[in-house]
Amino acid sequence: MSNPYIVLPIIFQLFLAILLMFCWTQKNLQKLVSTVGSLIAVAIAVIMFAQVWKSGTLVTQAGNWGAPFGITFVADTFSVLMVLLTTLSGLAVSVFSVGAVRNARVKFGYFPILHFLIMGLCGAFLAGDIFNLYVWFEIIIISSFVLITIGGEKAQLEGSIKYVTMNLLASVVFLTAIAVLYGLTGSLNMADLSLKVAEIENRGLVNVTAILFLVGFGIKSAVFPLYFWLPASYHTPPPAISAIFGGLLTKVGIYALLRVFTLIFIPDAFMITLISIMAALTILSGGIGAMIQNNIRKIFSYLIICHIGFMLAGLGMYTELAILGTVFYLVHDIIVKTNLFMVSGLIFKIKGTYSLRLLGGFYKDYPKLSLLMAIPLFSLVGIPPLSGFWAKFYLIRGGLEVDNLVLVGFIILGSFLTLFIIARFWSEAFWKTGEELPKKLKVKYYHELKPLKQKAMVVSILFLAFISLGIGLGAEYVIQVASRVAEELMNPQSYIEAVLGKL
Amino acid sequence: MKTIIFQTASNYLLPLLLLFSVFILLRGHYLPGGGFVGGLIASIAFVIHSFANGLEKTRSIIKFHPGFLMPVGLVFAIGAGAAPWFVGQPFMTGLWFEDPIPVIGMVGSALFFDTGVFLVVIGVSLTIIFTISETL
Amino acid sequence: MNLYDYLYYVILPVLAICTIIIFARFLMGPTLSDRVVALDLLLTTGIGIIAVYSIHTDQPTFLDIAMILALIAFLGTVAFSYYLEKREKNE
């Protein structure tokens, strides 16, 4: 079905960024506009989700040029689900930024760039054209370059060098893959590609292209041999920025992998084995990496890698049930990871350190906040009523269905590693009796902030914690959504028909 | 630079180059040119003027901070993109006025989009160049 | 010998040899100012080549490129001399 308004989430974020650029110097106005605008963006995303849920995949052709030639935007259930999650964590981060981002950074255009980043994310999720997807990736990485360097501290610049280098490399690989694919098929529209790639006789060349895509997206989503840039850079920018990075940027890579490998390249036995091995090693290396770290943000960075492995494992199993698990995990992980980095920011604001060894006694001093922080931490582990449990449950069931016991074993191992890490984190930071830490002059402590800023930080964490609880307790509804997404992904006919018309 | 030839020349070059940049912008639809090149030429005009007469004098000609042109240009571009929505067409569909306007020719939403690009390019390049030459 | 042959067999080779000689000067040039002048001349020769090529292929669009190149060459030379002057002042 055609609906010209599905690009509205993208355009609205652009509009917000422009509005914020107009009030470049008034920082309080910027905070207000960003918060209110993000609320409206969530409302738009909810309306769009409801519409797609009711009437199926929506399509628009930008510039009114017909399907395989123009640029197509497609909103199927997966896309709108991701847009909804993006706007939700965007809202939380923009509220958190009100409290946590220093005025010097706001003066250099923090808020406009944040909204450009969210615009790029929404665009990547809605793009129905593989080159357009690349363009949105570029918008995402260019805004993230600005965000990761803004403020210009030494550690930040050091981290950003690694980040920028690896992401540019990923873009080069991705672009090369697109060029090869265009040479093979003469088309860039994803639905059209899906039909044309299936007809190519030289399967070897198709597989090489598929591996190029796997490498390009693999660097972006930090899978096993290509993840080293992530823990080297994600702990350097301010917590609000690493929240949106940790929550969403790697997940775009997973989204793109899911889209490309269900629609364009249907993996054969070799690809499935390759993806499974990568997934298993990602889980292992992320989990072991997190165990030996001391900086809490580095722990969370390694946990991102570990859980990227879970999602890749779902793709490696390649059944509808496993994809359901992956989508559920994606939903759970975006919310929880965003929240975790915000939690780490709040801990830093209160204690003035990220070091796990120095932290302690948090539960005694702040019992209510500790209980609040327990929700995202234990959702991550997957304690039954919380959101992570159901996701892992479906992944494991998917693995048992195809008798991929090795991968199931790795998922269980990864869960235990996560449990161990979070338990260690909890006992070190919250239960251990902490000593009085020396005051740092450069840090603006939590109790020195204005009450409004304090509330902003707590409310944003509370908001995402409620969503995690909602996902856990209302798992039935999320499963409905995820199963519909999985069904649409595994049977791309409806997607192709929506874009190209009835065949 | 204190050379009277260059200073005099730059005073005449500024309006000439600005006119040329608008010309390049307008013919960009079917022939080489367009918003990006036009914007670069316009910013070159200001840069030459600032070399000849000093940064302060160029600032006083422009009167506002060039960075302000960025959001203004983006408003033009987003407006041109979103205009087709109001007649129920997909985003960025080209809408055209029925009669050509003298000198300019046919005017459509593409021209407004290009004007947006033109302004953004001027804003960005002048902001960069002014910031760099300030710190030197 | 018509105009096209004249352009092709006389003017273009002359310009090409000029380019080589100027490039030698650009490489040798004892001072920075020599190099800046050589670079300016190099670009001017380039403009000449574009103009000849434009006549030869009967493509007026190439003249625009020559125009823009002239503008950039001028700006480059001015910028170079601006900073040369500034450097001398600082020393």
Backbone angles phi, psi at A494, to 5 degrees: -65, -35
Residues 6+ apart with CB under 8 A from A149: A156, A157, A160
Contacts of B116 in chain A (CB under 8 A): none
ipTM: 0.90
Contacts of A24 in chain B (CB under 8 A): 67
Any alpha helices (H) in chain B, and if so which ranges?
Answer: 4-26, 35-53, 55-62, 69-82, 109-135
Amino acid A283: pLDDT: 93
Q: What is the pLDDT of residues B106-126, one digit of tens each?
A: 888 888 999 999 999 999 999
Any alpha helices (H) in A294-386, and if so which ranges?
Answer: 296-317, 320-351, 362-365, 367-381
* Tokens (6 digits) for B25: 């912008």
Q: Is the dihedral of CA A164, A12, A480, A52 positive or negative?
A: negative
* A interface with B, Cβ–Cβ below 8 Å: 2, 4-5, 7, 11, 14-15, 17-18, 21-22, 24, 60-64, 73
Of B71, B74, B90, the CB nearest to A60: B90
Whether B67 has its CB under 8 Å from any CB of chain A: the answer is: yes
User: CA-CA-CA-CA torsion for A338, A339, A344, A350, nearest 10 degrees?
Assistant: 140
Amino acid A215: pLDDT: 93
Contacts of B41 in chain C (CB under 8 A): 68, 71
Backbone angles phi, psi at A66, to 5 degrees: -60, 165
Nearest-CA distance A12 → chain B (Å): 10
Nearest-CA distance A64 → chain B (Å): 6
- Over 90: is that where the pLDDT of A348 sits? no
- Over 80: is that where the pLDDT of B135 sits? no
Specify the length of chain C in residues: 91
Cβ of B93 within 8 Å of Cβ of A63? The answer is: yes
3-state SS string for C12-79: HHHHHHHHHHHHHHHHHCCCHHHHHHHHHHHHHHHHHHHHHHHHHHCCCHHHHHHHHHHHHHHHHHHH
Whether C87 has its CB under 8 Å from any CB of chain B: the answer is: no
Interface with A, mutate which of B92, B120, B127 (most A CBs under 10 A) = B92
Nearest-CA distance B91 → chain A (Å): 5
pLDDT category, B136, cuts 50, 70, 90?
Answer: low
pLDDT category, A384, cuts 50, 70, 90?
Answer: confident
Cβ of B51 within 8 Å of Cβ of C82? The answer is: yes
Residues 6+ apart with CB under 8 A from A120: A136, A137, A139, A140, A143
- Over 80: is that where the pLDDT of A333 sits? yes
Backbone angles phi, psi at A355, to 5 degrees: -80, 125
Nearest-CA distance B44 → chain C (Å): 7
- Tokens 């080297």 belong to residue: A232
**Angle, CA B106 vertex, CA B104 and CA B108 arms, to 5°:** 110
Cβ of A63 within 8 Å of Cβ of B71? The answer is: no
Backbone angles phi, psi at A366, to 5 degrees: -130, 75
Of A18, A60, A73, the CB nearest to B74: A18
Q: What is the extent of the structural domain holding A248?
A: 4-500
- pTM equals 0.91
Interface with A, mutate which of B74, B76, B91 (most A CBs under 10 A) = B91
The number of folded domains in chain A is: 1
Nearest-CA distance C11 → chain B (Å): 27
Please state, in angstroms and rounded to a whole number, the distance separating the CA atoms of residues A15 and A278.
40
What is the DSSP code (8-state) at residue A433?
P
Q: Tell me which residues of chain C, numbers 46 to 65, contact chain B at a CB-CB cutoff of 8 Å.
A: 61, 64-65
How confident is the model over A162-176, as a mean pLDDT?
92
Whether C14 has its CB under 8 Å from any CB of chain B: the answer is: no
Whether B25 has its CB under 8 Å from any CB of chain C: the answer is: no
Tell me what the pLDDT averaged over chain C comes to.
89
Of A15, A17, A62, the CB nearest to B92: A62
Whether B6 has its CB under 8 Å from any CB of chain C: the answer is: yes
The strand pairing partners of A75, in sequence order, are A58
Q: What is the pLDDT of residues B19-59, one digit of tens each?
A: 999 998 988 888 888 889 999 999 999 998 988 888 888 89
* Number of Cβ within a 10 Å radius of residue B29: 16
Burial zone of A70 (CB within 10 Å; 0-12 exposed, 13-18 middle, 19+ buried): middle
Nearest-CA distance B31 → chain C (Å): 8
Please state, in angstroms and rounded to a whole number, the distance separating the CA atoms of residues A235 and A221.
16
Please state, in angstroms and rounded to a whole number, the distance separating the CA atoms of residues A381 and A310.
12
Nearest-CA distance C77 → chain B (Å): 11
- Over 80: is that where the pLDDT of A434 sits? no
Amino acid A112: pLDDT: 92
Backbone angles phi, psi at A43, to 5 degrees: -60, -45
Please give the share of chain B, as a percent, with pLDDT higher than 70.
99
Amino acid A503: pLDDT: 59
Please state, in angstroms and rounded to a whole number, the distance separating the CA atoms of residues A144 and A133.
16
Of A487, A493, A490, A502, nearest to A191 by C-alpha is A493
Query: By CA distance, what is B6's nearest residue in C?
Result: C78
Contacts of C61 in chain B (CB under 8 A): 31-32
Of C61, C65, C79, the CB nearest to B51: C79
Nearest-CA distance B119 → chain A (Å): 14
Count Cβ–Cβ pairs < 8 Å, chain B vs chain C.
Answer: 28
Tell me what the pLDDT averaged over chain A comes to.
89
Of A77, A61, A84, nearest to A132 by C-alpha is A61
* Tokens (6 digits) for A222: 């930090």
- Tokens 């980043």 belong to residue: A117
Helices then strands, each counted (H, E), chain A: 22, 2
Q: What is the pLDDT of residues A221-251, one digit of tens each?
A: 888 888 888 888 888 888 889 899 988 888 9
Query: By CA distance, what is B53's nearest residue in C?
Result: C82
Coil, helix or strand for A382?
coil
Chains in touch with B (≥3 Cβ pairs < 8 A)? A, C
- Over 80: is that where the pLDDT of A92 sits? yes
Cβ of A63 within 8 Å of Cβ of B82? The answer is: no
Interface with B, mutate which of A11, A26, A135, A139 (most B CBs under 10 A) = A11
Amino acid A157: pLDDT: 87
pLDDT category, C12, cuts 50, 70, 90?
Answer: very high
Interface with B, mutate which of C64, C69, C77, C88 (most B CBs under 10 A) = C64
Coil, helix or strand for A188?
coil
Amino acid A389: pLDDT: 86
Amino acid A278: pLDDT: 92
Q: Are A379 and A338 in contact (CB under 8 A)?
A: no
Q: Are A142 and A160 in contact (CB under 8 A)?
A: no
